Structure 1
């Protein structure tokens, strides 16, 4: 049984984070699909609790974890409590084409979030959350008459993070609104090489685009709950992502060099160079809606639908290989007996979910789709609302057809949600 004192466990968790950060400092994702847009978006890892439920959440509010998918949900925790959420992620992926298969693994620190009441009707959250990851290495080889083999290498690394600040406001007991404001920053490096392995006289070319990105993004949410019979509650939620721009400064370098080995280069001349080209990443508008049915301390079932107009995304005025994204999420949680004193496992939260998405990537008119099945556990602390959460997801993205890549993945996330009462005055008799 997990006991009440959370301080030792929190210290151990933070030490694990420190060790993980040192040992995984060089780790990165390995996905050819992170080449597009701003990389692999982190949106399916915003909560370990919700990750075990198919990543639903737009119509869910809770008093023991922070749901940043909809900022209106922050009014779910009470005016005398303080919430702290922390997480980590591990992933094992098999990359497949019709000819080859390759395995890759990845580990990362997740989010660190804090939630606190400001007034009886106002809750605030803040923290650090990854926004996107970039990590790929893709090679192509062609035979050209009178030249021989021509190798093309695409390589990328980096990603974006966000400093999160959210606010939720209770309008009535059933209606709340909220706004998330995030300062997004990071560096994304994309490199392309053209080499001539069969030629001793032809120069290879390397082109680097290094973008330093920073600016603010906002999303707005609303939730409304209707009490039903038998202690049940019907919830609805809506989130809007306004179209906004991220400022970027690009360093561009194009060089010719001798050598067909990427680790051995003898620079010949610089074709083009610019140290600080200003531009914008134009993020499009998006919408999400959800519905939930809940019985307090017993079960919840929820469904979300999301859409975003990624066809309008532009980087420095140029479009990318993106399409409008669409996703559906269905999941739930079940607690056999919330207040059981005879069985700890009756108080455990059991979670299950499924999701399907047309991602924002489209290659040669072929949309890249993603599917995942997840399950999770919430292990409660003794005499506390604090909880240790685990989530597992099995799924795939892409296809081996049309010369594309299929990714089969297993994701494991774990996190700690700490609930403390910090604003209660002691009473003496």
Structure 2
């Protein structure tokens, strides 16, 4: 591995952190209005085509960000990279009306490498939450007056997760791992009020809400047999501190005034999260992966302006097929994947949960015969929410591409 390539990758990692911190194109869901936005459902490598399941999968051929213990399985002399891209189209339906949006952006960037024969290290930058919504046409009367004003509210931004993972193999079958997440980001809300009097006046309120904090986690993986592995993770509860900077601009036919404000935000609590996973091979060519995670939001004792946070359950299942026939043929080296994931949501509005479910399909295209380098394509079709109780149902198509590369370093070149 040449130094210039490591330097270039470090530069890309820093630049990407700036992009994420100001990105507004990672979501267009109305449900990103709640809390700190929608929790990211995009993973690294092949995870997206496997129902988001990966707790028991080792990082032997790609970066698996689902469990820090997996980094203890990185092969000696391998250096892994992962670049992710995401595109999404969604249609939101409410009553008899609907609205469609398209978003696209980077979804992750990461590196991983072995420290020695028993341990590995990795750094991944990935969105933790994303915000992107518009609420328009809200009509209200000025208190004590018959004058009407119309409000439009836009939100964008999100929280980023700079995750540092370390995995150690206690034995050939048992691995432990630790993870440290640096969470940071900005959510911008813009409220525009048009006052309908003899002349059109407006009040523009812009507020930047910044949050930051750290979170610790751990994991394990155990190979029961050469074909079956189990894994588990724990992410500890933490609190994100916040502050807000805002401006209020009042514009009328005779007045133009800008008022600046600074304030502290209420802390946002993230819950304890536990997860368990299983991976097993069936008849050599098929691999099944299953995940279950539970997030204990009830213990945070917090609510949104509209809803209440409740315990969340996540289920993910994936199936992969890879031919064991002649591997010199290109099509025999392709990996075919399918999966399903469901979660019952972490927010409850009028006794109704905002659940999410999706079907996933994926394919892995190898880039080199004697390497783990691969382009992983995935497609998901899913839906969130419901039309009942005055809520919104969202159908979405999610496309992702992960360029998962393997480099070989610190290996002596052989000359015949």
The alignment status of 1:54 with 2:51, answered yes or no, reads yes
Q: Who is 1:262 aligned against?
A: none
Residue of structure 2 aligned with 1:242, choices 236, 252, 264: 236
Mapped contact 1:313–1:319 kept (Cα < 8 A): no
C-alpha deviation, 1:336, in angstroms: 1.5
Match of 1:246, SS? strand
Mapped contact 1:280–1:317 kept (Cα < 8 A): no
How far apart in 2 are the matches of 1:269 and 1:226?
Answer: 65
Q: TM-score scaled to structure 2, two decimals?
A: 0.85
Match of 1:393, SS? strand
Mapped contact 1:292–1:301 kept (Cα < 8 A): yes
C-alpha deviation, 1:200, in angstroms: 4.4
C-alpha deviation, 1:310, in angstroms: 2.4
C-alpha deviation, 1:292, in angstroms: 1.7
User: Structure 2 unaligned runs (5+)?
Assistant: none
Q: Who is 2:292 aligned against?
A: 305
C-alpha deviation, 1:345, in angstroms: 1.4
Q: Who is 2:127 aligned against?
A: 130
Match of 1:290, SS? strand
C-alpha deviation, 1:424, in angstroms: 2.5
How far apart in 2 are the matches of 1:237 and 1:352?
Answer: 21
Mapped contact 2:164–2:181 kept (Cα < 8 A): yes
C-alpha deviation, 1:82, in angstroms: 1.1
How far apart in 2 are the matches of 1:62 and 1:253?
Answer: 47
How far apart in 1 are the matches of 2:289 and 2:74?
Answer: 19
Mapped contact 1:64–1:418 kept (Cα < 8 A): no
C-alpha deviation, 1:275, in angstroms: 1.7
Match of 2:345, SS? strand
How far apart in 2 are the matches of 1:266 and 1:382?
Answer: 70
The alignment status of 1:101 with 2:88, answered yes or no, reads no
Q: Who is 1:365 aligned against?
A: 351
1:386-418, Cα deviation, whole Å (9 max, x unpaired): 111100101111112222111111111111111
User: Structure 1 unaligned runs (5+)?
Assistant: 1-6, 260-264
The alignment status of 1:410 with 2:408, answered yes or no, reads no
How far apart in 1 are the matches of 2:42 and 2:24?
Answer: 21
- What does residue range 15-414 of structure 1 map to in structure 2 within 5 Å? 27-42=25-40, 44-139=41-136, 141-142=138-139, 147=146, 149-193=148-192, 195-197=194-196, 199-200=197-198, 207-227=205-225, 232-253=226-247, 258=252, 267=256, 274-277=261-264, 279-294=266-281, 298-313=285-300, 321-337=308-324, 339-341=326-328, 343-380=329-366, 381-414=368-401
How far apart in 1 are the matches of 2:258 and 2:370?
Answer: 69
1:262-296, Cα deviation, whole Å (9 max, x unpaired): xxx964685xx642426532211111111121369
How far apart in 2 are the matches of 1:355 and 1:317?
Answer: 25
Match of 1:29, SS? coil
281-290 vs 331-340, which moves further = 331-340
How far apart in 2 are the matches of 1:208 and 1:100?
Answer: 28
How far apart in 1 are the matches of 2:298 and 2:265?
Answer: 22
